[in-house]
C-alpha cells in the first residue's frame, strides 16, 4: 500500500510517499513544493492554485491508496500560523477528496512521538530520525520533507494496525 504524507505550508509544502510492510517502510519519493511568495502574481490565492496543480500531479503520478496530512496546530506565540496553514490544508483536503482517496489526519505530536519517541521532538530530531529510518546518507532537507515522510510513515502504520479503519467506520 502506498501512502503519501503532506506537510502543508504556503511557502514550502513537503511531500513523501512510502510503501511496504508495517515496520519496514520503503521510500518511494519525497520532495517539496516551493511556492513563490514574492512578485505581483504571488498572492495567497495564486500560491494555492500552484499548490493544487503541483499536488494533483504528484497524486496522479504516485497513485497512493491514502494520503496522510498534518492536522492544524496553534502556538500561542504565533497564532496566525494556524490560519495560514489552514489555507494550504484546505487545498490538500480538496485534492485528496476529489480523487476519492482515503484521508488520514494526524496531530503533529502523534507523528513526532511515533517517529522519535517524543511528542516534543524538534525539526533536527525529526530529520535525523527519518534519515535513520530510511538509511539515508544525509538528513532530508528542507525539514518539511522529513516531516512529510514521517507523516506518511505514521499514516501507513495507522492503516496497517486498523486504527484508521475503526475511526473511518465510526465516522460513516
172 residues of the chain, pLDDT tens digit each: 999 999 999 899 999 999 998 789 999 999 999 998 787 768 889 999 999 999 999 999 999 999 999 887 777 777 777 787 899 999 999 999 999 999 999 999 999 999 999 999 999 999 999 999 999 999 999 999 999 999 999 999 999 988 654 444 444 4
- Residue of 50, 95, 144, 164 marked catalytic: 144
- Residue of 50, 54, 70, 147 marked catalytic: 70
What are the C-alpha distances in Å from 145 to residues 33, 80, 119, 128, 150?
10, 22, 18, 12, 9
First to last CA, the chain: 22
Whether 122 is catalytic is: no
The structure's pTM equals 0.91
Please list the residues that pair with 37 across neighbouring strands: none
Whether 164 is catalytic is: no
Domains in the chain, start-ordered, CATH in brackets?
3-167 (3.30.420.10)
Whether 60 is catalytic is: no
The separation between CA 40 and the C-alpha centre of its own chain, rounded to angstroms, equals: 29
Closest C-alpha among 116, 106, 115, 101 to residue 163:
106
Amino acid at each position: 500500500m502506498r501512502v503519501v504524507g503532506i506537510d502543508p505550508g504556503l511557502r514550502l509544502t513537503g511531500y513523501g510517499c512510502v510503501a511496504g510492510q508495517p515496520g519496514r517502510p520503503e521510500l518511494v519519493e519525497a520532495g517539496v513544493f516551493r511556492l513563490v511568495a514574492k512578485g505581483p502574481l504571488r498572492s495567497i490565492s495564486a500560491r494555492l492554485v500552484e499548490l493544487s496543480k503541483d499536488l494533483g500531479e504528484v497524486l496522479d503520478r504516485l497513485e497512493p491508496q491514502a494520503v496522510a496530512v498534518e492536522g492544524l496546530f496553534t502556538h500561542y506565540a504565533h497564532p496566525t500560523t494556524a490560519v495560514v496553514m489552514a489555507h494550504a490544508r484546505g487545498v490538500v483536503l480538496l485534492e485528496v477528496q476529489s480523487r476519492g482517496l482515503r484521508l488520514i489526519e494526524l496531530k503533529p505530536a502523534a507523528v513526532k512521538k511515533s517517529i522519535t519517541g517524543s511528542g516534543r521532538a524538534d525539526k533536527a530530531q525529526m530529520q535525523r530520525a527519518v534519515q535513520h529510518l530510511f538509511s539515508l546518507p544525509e538528513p532530508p532537507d528542507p525539514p518539511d520533507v522529513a516531516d512529510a515522510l514521517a507523516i506518511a510513515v505514521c499514516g501507513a502504520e495507522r492503516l496497517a494496525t486498523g486504527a484508521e479503519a475503526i475511526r473511518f467506520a465510526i465516522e460513516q
